[in-house]
Structure 1
Amino acid sequence: MADKDLRINEQIRVREVRLVREDGGPQGILSITEALEMAREQGLDLVEVAPQAVPPVVKILDYGKFKFENEKKVRDSKKKQKLLKLKEIRMQPKIDEHDMDFKSKHVREFLADGNKVKVTVRFRGRELAHTELGLDVLKDVLKRLEGDYVMDKAPAMEGRFMSMVLSPKSKK
């Protein structure tokens, strides 16, 4: 619920409203002047919480506190979201055994951190005639990962590159 959509006190322009107590219990249907008077007596605001209802539902509460609580909920929900990053590891068809170990270790670390990984093999010059070598490199990477991944995109050629996308196995 966006705070901009909420009307408070004199901004509410209807004859009758359904009043709800602060604890959530129903108070009844009152005229807007009665409801505003009750809110003023308590030193609080009259806030429209369900404008689409007939008659609109209003609540007597401290609007500043209510707004702060809503902003806090939004902030907390943003903190809990995990942003997935796409990391890329580039290789060539003629890759040394040690380099393959090193790059595979990095792929495993990226997956362990919860990131997606795009493993790319770049072909230069005449290497493009032997794309099966690149496929072998990608299969070797998969073998070294020992199934700690989910394949989002199978190995495929994209111009001078052959790539695949892996994501971490979900922990359930």
Structure 2
Amino acid sequence: MINEQIRDREVRVIGENGDQLGIMSSKDALKLAREAELDLVKIAPTAKPPVCKIIDYGKYRYELARKEKEARKKQKTVEIKEVRLSPNIDVNDLNTKMNNAKKFIAKGNKVKVTLRFRGREMAHMQAHRYILEDFAKAMAEVAVIDKPIKQEGRSLTLFLSEKR
């Protein structure tokens, strides 16, 4: 809220250079802001009494937007990369998939390891669970199990994330 939008009876006022001007009526605070050719902006509406500051509102909005942009820049988005395996995978193929998973984890992504079953393989799903367990053991030096092995329809899935 700015200027006339502030309807509180009393407000705590902070001057343009950060000094406390004390508690006064919102009309008096607005009059001070007008004399300085600036705006009266409500900074902390939940405080008792609400805190208002005499500043240039356009500049204030610009600063807020810049801080928000900086915060978004520093945020890290974690992607989930998927590695698909089949029950009759060979050792060399499994090693290749592990290397790919290690690269993904090194970049800071989470890895979803999926063991897909087709046709008759569905009858022996639990018998092939060891493939995912071995995969997790081999990745233990760089990754930790985020979510344990879980059956989802025609596949078994395992989530790995970077070891801290």
TM-score, length of structure 1 as denominator length = 0.85
Summarize the Cα distance change of 1:91–1:54 in structure 2 as closer, same or farther, 3 Å threshold. closer
1:91 alignment partner, one of 67, 73, 85: 85
Per-residue displacement from partner, 1:71-94 (whole Å, max 9, x unpaired)?
111111111111111111111111
Instruction: Tell me, in whole angstroms, the C-alpha distance in 2 between the residues paired with 1:155 and 1:31.
Output: 64
Aligned-partner SS, 1:78: helix
**2:95 aligns to what?**
101
TM-score, length of structure 2 as denominator length = 0.89
Give the conservation status (yes or no) of the 8 Å contact 2:136–2:145. Answer: no
Instruction: Tell me, in whole angstroms, the C-alpha distance in 2 between the residues paired with 1:149 and 1:21.
Output: 53
Instruction: Tell me, in whole angstroms, the C-alpha distance in 1 between the residues paired with 2:39 and 2:107.
Output: 47
Instruction: Tell me, in whole angstroms, the C-alpha distance in 1 between the residues paired with 2:154 and 2:7.
Output: 65
**1:47 aligns to what?**
41
Instruction: Give the AA of the match of 2:53.
Output: K
**1:56 aligns to what?**
50
Instruction: Tell me, in whole angstroms, the C-alpha distance in 2 between the residues paired with 1:22 and 1:118.
Output: 53
Please tell me whether residue 123 in structure 1 is matched to residue 113 in structure 2.
Answer: no
Instruction: Tell me, in whole angstroms, the C-alpha distance in 1 between the residues paired with 2:158 and 2:17.
Output: 54
Give the conservation status (yes or no) of the 8 Å contact 1:86–1:116. Answer: yes
Q: Aligned residues, how many? A: 164
Question: Following TM superposition, by how much is the alpha carbon of 1:30 offset from its aligned partner in structure 2, in angstroms?
Answer: 2.2
- Can you give the 5+ residue segments of structure 1 that lack an aligned partner in the other structure? 1-6
Instruction: Give the AA of the match of 1:9.
Output: N
Give the conservation status (yes or no) of the 8 Å contact 1:84–1:116. Answer: yes
Please tell me whether residue 144 in structure 1 is matched to residue 138 in structure 2.
Answer: yes
**2:76 aligns to what?**
82
Instruction: Tell me, in whole angstroms, the C-alpha distance in 2 between the residues paired with 1:31 and 1:156.
Output: 63
Give the conservation status (yes or no) of the 8 Å contact 1:92–1:134. Answer: no
- Can you give the 5+ residue segments of structure 2 that lack an aligned partner in the other structure? none
Please tell me whether residue 9 in structure 1 is matched to residue 3 in structure 2.
Answer: yes
Question: Following TM superposition, by how much is the alpha carbon of 1:159 offset from its aligned partner in structure 2, in angstroms?
Answer: 2.2
Question: Following TM superposition, by how much is the alpha carbon of 1:66 offset from its aligned partner in structure 2, in angstroms?
Answer: 0.7
